[in-house]
Amino acid sequence: MKKETKNIFIDGSLLITEALVKAGADIFVGYPITPSNRFYSYGQKRFPSFYPAPDEISVLQWMSGAAAAGKIPVTATAFPGLALMVESLNMAYAMELPMVIVVTQRLGPSTGSATIGAQGDLGIVNGIISGFPIPTFCPSNFEDCWTLSQKAVETAVKLRTPVILLTSKEMVMTSKSFDFNKLEEIKPLKRDKVEINGEYKSYQAGEDLIAPFIDFNTNKHQVRINSSMHNETGRIVKNEESINISKRLAEKINNNASELASFDYKKEEGSNKLIISYGISSLAALDAVEEIQANNQKVSLLIIKTLIPLSEDIYNIIDSYKEVLFVEENLNGQLKEIIFGKRNTQNITSVNKFGSMIAPSEIVNQFA
Amino acid sequence: MLSGVKAPFCPGCSHGSSVKYLSKALTECGYNPLDIILVSDIGCSGLVDPLFNTHTIHGLHGRSPALAMGVVLGINEPNKKVITIQGDGGATIGLQHILEASRRNIDMTLIVLNNLIYGMTGGQVSGLSTNDFKTDKRIPDNAPPFDVCQLAHQAGATYVTRVNNPKEITEKLVEAIKTKGFSLVEISSLCQPYGAKKLTQLAEWIEDEILLTNNHPVGQNISKETASLINEKHFIEPKYKSAIEGKVEVIIAGSAGGGVQSAAKLLAEAGIISGLSATMKGEYPITVGTGFSLAEVILSKKEINYTGLEQPDVAIIVTDNGLLKVQNKINKNTNLYIDSKVNPPENTNAKIFDFNKMAGKKGSALSAISLWIEESGLLDINALRDVAKKHKYGDVLLKAIDSSKDMLVR
């Protein structure tokens, strides 16, 4: 039975904040930065615990300490803050601590313009744990803001890892009317209590490559958390065991690529052209596809929501088309570069824009 | 407390004995190993964690006081004690973290093992290296050192001390560990390859012993019950009709403090209560209290995907600041409402009214929106009145809406 509609006028920041808390995130550590500032003010009211840190290095350090003590921490930042977090985020990744970092994209490089939207941070997010994937979800509409926030919390806990929610100024600051009844109720995550008979080792993984997590509240087992290369016990050593533990950090995420995958694929039979987009630009792509189809041209659309890791499904879809057009609001196409490299070919093209949103007409013109 | 793992320190290094003093102090305070969370970072001082049988966490150079603070903020068991160890190099790069933990008087103990140099990278000087040491070593840097004890004390730490006599270390550690709130113990230390080789040499280089106390409240963890921020007052049930068939794009331009953003929000809500989809985007300088204030509202019968607005159907301009921001977006096809104090741009069909005079500075934008609604008939003015009534300043807003009636009959 179709539920009745329940209209709400809301911004993406509030939906994401609400979904994160409902999913089980319980502590927000913030340093204010535009255009993530609404997360800070909503977080202050909505999270059970909220702490204002003096800088973004402290943010990630406090979050890591709290995560090791059993919390599921969240912060929200933009590129300048993310840049300061890089080393500490690598620490949290190596320590295998669950947390969610909301990154709201604005125009760069450097301080750029705090109030102009962009999709320019996939490059740094893709390389932030250089060579290692950090699960990255990118909402392309308000339903995604809700469901991907929950997925971010679940992934962080299940895979014992920091997770990035990559948003943009337009997605989280523009208010939109929205049918709230489209959303499924979020149930809080139940964290399994780890029972270990005998010695517990903080980094001893099972076949699923995930090491069961016990936090510092325990009186039963010794917990050793370490960001430097370590053995299963958590002691610094340099040997094959510790090198394999470092490699496992990537494997545990890549092995789950299809479970982490989220995308919308609007396939049109007989089309040999595919438009690929993500985040804010995918809304323009949706309008453009409607217009292209109204002009009796065939086109399929792929909106990717899990940007890291990319699943086999994504590559298989791409391989089934002759021509691919990427739509992203940055200088040269960062997703395109991740998938195909810097070189453009006749069959791989892109619509890019720097400094304002891509309009549907610009996609339609390029497609023609 | 100790694991029995052999300490990795050079012969004659103070760090080995500091580990033993700490272990003794913790036992003397009555702690079991798993009551303790030992936080360490990078540098020779950071090699301590395998030596202890406690919980341990080993992080980044200089960041251990911040990491430790995170543990304190997150822990549920009130009987756990967080102990942090770093060197003088770590205390230099992470000084902000020490000040922050002191300022908040976080319940933890920080031990700074000050051997005056960076030992792991070849004996470079730190921010805590003294001038006597640097002069003797012919290091051309005469900037005075930070006194980490004075700084932590000034920032609000409950207990701070510098110990130069090894015989006093255990006793001072016990005092620090028993302290409620932030405590810091700086231990002057030997480093055979690069620093002081003997205590007599160390004595010539280091700062005097010190003991400073404060009586500030201890930092408390915050945990509160919260309710959903999305509640009944956000829901808008359609009860009016709209004549909009496709999409109408409205731009509202004025100045900070002129009620532009709230007027735009009311317009969007009036659309929703009339069964339309709506989006609203605000733009204003980072210094929100001055300059222009711009809002874009899209009303549409269909669900709105793309929220950009290139050429508005309707433009409402109530100040010169606002005009400057939007003049390149309007032309003679724009349905333009403009205040009489603003010079209307050329090649436009401006409708000029005294919005500011009739509705005041704060009501001018809403007054103009109301006039457009009345003239165009695209929305029911009662839809706008309805959403305005629910507002905190409903009475004031209704006056602005009603001011348009006088202009309409003119």
In tens, the pLDDT along B82-138 reads: 999 999 999 999 999 999 999 999 999 999 999 999 999 999 999 999 999 999 999
Q: Using CA atoms, how far apart are residues B133 and B124, in angstroms rounded to an integer? A: 12
Cβ distance of B229 and A17 shorter than 8 Å: yes
Q: Name the β-bridge partners of A136.
A: A164, A308
Cβ distance of A286 and B305 shorter than 8 Å: yes
Q: What three-state secondary structure class fits A148?
A: helix
Q: What three-state secondary structure class fits B108?
A: strand
Q: Using CA atoms, how far apart are residues B85 and B63, in angstroms rounded to an integer? A: 10
B60 interfaces chain A, CB cutoff of 8 Å: yes
Strands A136-137 and A348-352: what pairing? Answer: unpaired
Q: How confident is the model at residue B310 (pLDDT cuts 50, 70, 90)?
A: confident
What is the pLDDT, as a whole number, of residue B410?
53
Count of A–B CB contacts within 8 Å?
218
Cβ distance of A173 and B281 shorter than 8 Å: yes
Which of B213, B248, B267 is the endpoint of a domain?
A: B213
Cβ distance of A65 and B73 shorter than 8 Å: yes
Q: How many CA atoms lie within 13 A of B68 on its CB side?
A: 34
Any domain includes B306: yes
Among all chains, which residue has been given the structure tokens 């979904």? Answer: A19
Question: B277 to chain A: nearest residue by CA?
Answer: A177
Residue A112 makes CB contacts below 8 A (sequence gap 6+) with A79, A106, A118
Q: Please name the amino acid found at residue A247.
A: K
Any domain includes B176: yes
Calculate how close chain A gets to B40, using CA atoms only, in Å. Answer: 10
A-chain residues within 8 Å CB-CB of B34?
Answer: 218-222
CA nearest to A184, candidates A144, A139, A135: A144
B-chain residues within 8 Å CB-CB of A7?
Answer: 235-238, 272
Contacts of B351-357 with C-beta under 8 Å, sequence gap 24+, read: B353/B407, B354/B407, B355/B318, B355/B403, B356/B318
B-chain residues within 8 Å CB-CB of A14?
Answer: 229-230
Range with the poorest average pLDDT among A114-128, B221-235, B241-255: B221-235
Q: Is A290 exposed, middle or buried (0-12, 13-18, 19+ CB in 10 A)?
A: middle
Residue A205: both structure tokens together: 């993984």
Any domain includes B9: no
Residue B409 has pLDDT above 70, yes or no: no
Mutate: best of B267, B297, B298, B306, partner A, most A CBs <10 A: B306
Tell me which residue range forms the domain holding B175: 14-213
What is the pLDDT, as a whole number, of residue B94?
98
The domain made up of A1-260 has a fold known as Rossmann fold (3.40.50)
Same domain, B277 and B206: no
Tens digits of residue pLDDT in A50-61: 999 999 999 999
Tens digits of residue pLDDT in A211-221: 999 999 999 99
CA nearest to B206, candidates B134, B142, B151: B134
Same domain, B152 and B247: no
Cβ distance of A48 and B224 shorter than 8 Å: yes
DSSP annotation of B46 reads G
Give the mean pLDDT of A305-320. Answer: 98
Same domain, B152 and B300: no
CA nearest to A36, candidates A144, A125, A117: A117
Mutate: best of B42, B45, B58, partner A, most A CBs <10 A: B58
Cβ distance of A68 and B308 shorter than 8 Å: no
**Model pTM score:** 0.97
What is the pLDDT, as a whole number, of residue B286?
79
DSSP string, B145-214: PP-HHHHHHHHT-SEEEEE--GGGHHHHHHHHHH-SSEEEEEEE---TTTS-SSHHHHHHHSPPPEEEE-
B-chain residues within 8 Å CB-CB of A220?
Answer: 34
Same domain, B137 and B209: yes
Same domain, B128 and B266: no
| Structural domains counted in chain B | 2
B-chain residues within 8 Å CB-CB of A62?
Answer: 66-67, 69-70, 73
Q: Is A124 within 8 Å of A79 (Cβ atoms)?
A: yes
Same domain, B164 and B253: no
Give the mean pLDDT of A162-171. Answer: 98
What angle is formed at CA B10 by the lines to CA B5 and CA B14, rounded to 5 degrees?
Answer: 85
DSSP annotation of B289 reads T
Any domain includes B223: no
B29 interfaces chain A, CB cutoff of 8 Å: no
Question: B63 to chain A: nearest residue by CA?
Answer: A61
Cβ distance of A287 and B226 shorter than 8 Å: no
Cβ distance of A7 and B235 shorter than 8 Å: yes
Any domain includes B385: yes
CA nearest to B297, candidates B315, B275, B317, B273: B315
Give the mean pLDDT of B341-366. Answer: 94
Calculate how close chain A gets to B244, using CA atoms only, in Å. Answer: 16
Same domain, B18 and B118: yes
What is the pLDDT, as a whole number, of residue B287?
82
CATH of the domain at B400: 3.40.920.10
What is the pLDDT, as a whole number, of residue B375?
96
Same domain, B102 and B241: no
CA nearest to B318, candidates B271, B256, B269, B382: B256
B-chain residues within 8 Å CB-CB of A21?
Answer: 226
Residue A136 has pLDDT above 70, yes or no: yes
Q: How confident is the model at residue A362 (pLDDT cuts 50, 70, 90)?
A: very high
> Residue ranges per domain, chain A?
1-260, 261-367
Cβ distance of A70 and B75 shorter than 8 Å: yes
> If one looks up domain A261-367 in CATH, what number appears?
3.40.50.920
Calculate how close chain B gets to A120, using CA atoms only, in Å. Answer: 18
Tens digits of residue pLDDT in A140-157: 999 999 999 999 999 999
Which of B148, B179, B213 is the endpoint of a domain?
A: B213
DSSP annotation of B44 reads G
Q: Please name the amino acid found at residue B96.
A: Q
Query: Which of B 192-221 lie inside 8 A of A, CB atoms?
Result: 221
Residue B362 has pLDDT above 60, yes or no: yes
DSSP annotation of B13 reads -
Q: Name the β-bridge partners of A325.
A: A275, A349
Cβ distance of B55 and A223 shorter than 8 Å: yes
Cβ distance of B76 and A69 shorter than 8 Å: yes
Q: Using CA atoms, how far apart are residues B140 and B131, in angstroms rounded to an integer? A: 10
B-chain residues within 8 Å CB-CB of A29?
Answer: 70
What is the pLDDT, as a whole number, of residue B378?
98
How many C-beta neighbours within 10 Å does residue A312 have? 11
Tens digits of residue pLDDT in A344-361: 888 999 999 999 999 999
Give the mean pLDDT of A62-81. Answer: 98
> Interface pTM (ipTM) of the complex?
0.97
Any domain includes B182: yes
> Sheet holding A175-179: strands in order across?
A7-11, A175-179, B277-283, B292-300, B247-255, B314-317, B335-339, B350-353
Mutate: best of B69, B73, B300, partner A, most A CBs <10 A: B73
Which of B147, B178, B213 is the endpoint of a domain?
A: B213
B69 interfaces chain A, CB cutoff of 8 Å: yes
A-chain residues within 8 Å CB-CB of B224?
Answer: 48-49
Cβ distance of B34 and A222 shorter than 8 Å: yes
Mutate: best of A13, A26, A33, A62, partner B, most B CBs <10 A: A62
Calculate how close chain B gets to A52, using CA atoms only, in Å. Answer: 11
Residue B232 has pLDDT above 90, yes or no: no
B6 interfaces chain A, CB cutoff of 8 Å: no
What is the pLDDT, as a whole number, of residue A83?
98
Q: How confident is the model at residue B233 (pLDDT cuts 50, 70, 90)?
A: confident
From the list B74, B236, B308, the residue facing A67 with the nearest CB is: B74
DSSP annotation of B80 reads -
Dihedral, CA atoms, A174, A178, A181, A185, nearest 10 degrees?
Answer: -10
B-chain residues within 8 Å CB-CB of A112?
Answer: none
Give the mean pLDDT of B276-296. Answer: 91
Give the mean pLDDT of B386-399. Answer: 94
Tens digits of residue pLDDT in B60-81: 999 999 999 999 999 999 999 9
Whether the ω angle into residue B312 lies within 30 degrees of 0, i.e. cis, is: no
B308 interfaces chain A, CB cutoff of 8 Å: yes
Tens digits of residue pLDDT in B141-199: 999 999 999 999 999 999 999 999 999 999 999 999 999 999 999 999 999 999 999 99
Residue A243 makes CB contacts below 8 A (sequence gap 6+) with A229
Query: Which of B 79-138 lie inside 8 A of A, CB atoms?
Result: 80, 96-97, 100
Same domain, B205 and B346: no
From the list A15, A62, A234, the residue facing B69 with the nearest CB is: A62
Q: Using CA atoms, how far apart are residues A24 and B229, in angstroms rounded to an integer? A: 16
Mean pLDDT score across all residues of chain A: 96
Any domain includes B24: yes
Q: Do domains A1-260 and A261-367 have the same CATH topology?
A: yes
Question: B281 to chain A: nearest residue by CA?
Answer: A174
CATH of the domain at B31: 3.40.50.970
Classify each residue of B233-266 as buried b or exposed e, where b means 16 or more C-beta atoms within 10 Å of its C-beta: ebebeeebebebeeebbbbbbbbbebbbbbbbbb
